[in-house]
Amino acid sequence: MAVNYKMYQDNRKESKTKGKWFARATHSGVVETKQLAAIIERNSSMKQSDVQAVLIELTEVMTDMLQNSMRVKINGLGSFKIGISTRAADTQKEFSLAKNLRNMHVIFQPEMTVDRAGKVRTKSLLRGVELREYGKHADDEGNKTTTTKPGGKPAGVEEGGN
């Protein structure tokens, strides 16, 4: 299994990187609660209906906790919290949510682990991820699958490099 990507060229007129090529992750579909529950049923002793009920309840409890100014941490996944964006007011007295609130949003911070030396941070969801150019096979020349190092960096790429 691998995360697919497609190549694209920056064609924005005023861009500093106009004409340069970049990779962008592609997604081949959406997995919804029912499908997740079916997979979990195959991998555990729980019934699909029980898993679905737990996942539905999880979203309801998370909503309640987030709306009570709590950060919700799911071990192995990460933390969720509510954030807000506001417009500036000249004074604190002039500030009101009715006038200055731009939006509310959910912020997700993936779980990270740190190695014993305290130097390498690894996002749990990216540990061991492989990349493959969309439409090419792993054995195509010039398209060897890249395995990431801890922290989501491709193997062979040093941090802070040129």
Higher local confidence (pLDDT), 153 or 91: 91
Q: What pLDDT shows up at residue 158?
A: 43
As a whole number of angstroms, the distance between CA 26 and CA 76 comes to 24
Kindly tell me if the per-residue pLDDT of 79 is higher than 50: yes
* Share above pLDDT 70 across residues of the chain, in percent, rounded to a whole number: 83
Structure tokens at 103: 């939006």
Higher local confidence (pLDDT), 31 or 158: 31
Phi, psi (deg, nearest 5) at residue 43: -95, 0
* CATH superfamily, domain at 2-12+19-133: IHF-like DNA-binding proteins (4.10.520.10)
Kindly tell me if the per-residue pLDDT of 65 is higher than 80: yes
Confidence class for position 161, pLDDT limits 50, 70, 90: very low
What does DSSP say about strands 72-74 and 21-25: parallel, antiparallel, or unpaired? unpaired
> What is the pTM assigned to this prediction?
0.72
The mean pLDDT of the chain is: 87
Q: What pLDDT shows up at residue 18?
A: 95
**What's the chain look like in SS3?**
CCEEEEEEECCCCCCCCCCCEEEEECCCCCCCHHHHHHHHHHHCCCCHHHHHHHHHHHHHHHHHHHCCCCCEEECCCEEEEEEEEECCCCCCCCCCHHHHEEEEEEEEEECEEECCCCCCEEEHHHCCCEEEECCCCCCCCCCCCEEECCCCCECCCCCCCC
Lowest mean pLDDT among 41-55, 126-140, 141-155: 141-155
So where are the chain's domains? Answer: 2-12+19-133
Kindly tell me if the per-residue pLDDT of 38 is higher than 50: yes
Kindly tell me if the per-residue pLDDT of 162 is higher than 50: no
pLDDT (average), residues 78-96: 97
